[in-house]
Amino acid sequence: MAGTSLLALIDDIATLLDDVSVMTKVAAKKTAGVLGDDLALNAEQVSGVKADRELPVVWAVFKGSALNKLILVPAALLISAFIPWLITPLLMLGGAFLCYEGCEKLAHKFFHGNDEGEHAEKLKAVADASVDLVAFEKNKIKGAIRTDFILSAEIIVISLGAVQSATFGVQVAAICTIAVLMTIGVYGLVAGIVKLDDAGLYLAKTDPQASAANARIALGKGILALAPWLMKTLSVVGTLAMFLVGGGILVHGIPGSHDWLHHLQEMAGAVAFAVPLLVNLVGGVIAGAMVLAVVTAIGRLRGAR
């Protein structure tokens, strides 16, 4: 009898873990779009500090990110437990904000931005002996943690929407798993990205007499050439993903959207797979442009006053 009970318990645990695994995969897939931007933004935020201080700064931001998750995850689970009807509006707000961020990045890039000038200012600040580097680092860390809070909130809300149909226990396990894995994963990659040029420089300076010197020097030079393009690629992919994810959330929140999407796919024939992506992208750009226009108008009115 005891053996049967133990087997039943093990079966229940295995079923629960399987449910958690499935829900975690669903939530991870939904939030993957935010991660590219999260990664690029955080790597950019911690850039501009001295090489020997890069990893301590990343570690400080990682601890701030963990604290953000400790605030956001319980808040999200309380909403799910007591006011679940609020999840969909929050999800729609999160989608609209993602689209707005994407449009804001494009507007900054094409109408206001001067990324090379900003980068030069950062390098000048680091090289200037009169600059208080402790204060400079603290400002960097505070800015990165603020950015992380916004992106973490988006990730948690999207994850919660993805596992909304699961039992509360599965929701708790899935959201906590997502929070832990994404925090460790993002900042592990950020640490690798900010030290990528150092690794390339180390390999490029290999003693010509050392073993496999030519290969190591070539690899180092390749890494040094790749590092700037990696950041640019992450930024572009992150922006595209913001429109796809945010637009997807908003489109699927429209009543009857599933039916007309299915109808469009039937009309598209062989390229039916591209229809949802195209609709999400166009919907995301339109929604982001509308929100950006409203925010800009409000900003100008406040400035005029």
Q: What is the pLDDT of residues 30-59, one digit of tens each?
A: 555 556 556 666 666 555 566 677 788 888
Tell me if 122 is assigned to some domain: yes
Tell me if 6 is assigned to some domain: no
The three-state secondary structure class of 253 is: coil
Residue with structure tokens 């390999």?
203
- Type of residue found at 265: Q
**Domain count along the chain:** 1
- Type of residue found at 206: T
Q: Which long-range contacts (CB under 8 A, 24 or more apart) does 180-186 make?
A: 180/69, 181/28, 182/28, 182/31, 182/35, 182/38, 182/155, 183/62, 183/65, 183/66, 183/69, 185/35, 186/35, 186/38, 186/39, 186/42, 186/65
The three-state secondary structure class of 304 is: helix
Residue length, the chain? 305
Residue with structure tokens 């572009």?
236
Q: Beta-carbon neighbour count of residue 91 at 10 Å?
A: 22
- pLDDT on residue 294: 92
- pLDDT on residue 13: 45
Tell me if 270 is assigned to some domain: yes
Tell me if 67 is assigned to some domain: yes
Tokens found for residue 153: 């909130």
Tell me if 235 is assigned to some domain: yes
* Residue 209 domain boundaries: 18-304
> Is pTM beyond 0.85 here?
no
Q: Which of 244, 260, 232, 194 is nearest to 61 (CA)?
A: 194
Tokens found for residue 78: 């309380």
Tell me if 1 is assigned to some domain: no
Tell me if 286 is assigned to some domain: yes
Which residue spans within the chain are E strands per DSSP? Answer: none
Tell me if 295 is assigned to some domain: yes
pLDDT in tens, the chain (305 residues): 544 554 444 444 445 445 445 555 555 555 555 565 566 666 665 555 666 777 888 888 889 989 999 998 999 888 888 888 888 888 888 888 888 888 988 888 787 655 555 555 555 555 555 455 567 677 778 877 877 787 788 788 878 777 777 788 878 888 888 888 888 888 888 888 878 878 888 888 888 777 777 888 888 888 888 877 877 777 777 778 778 878 888 888 888 888 888 888 888 888 888 888 899 899 999 999 999 999 989 888 887 66
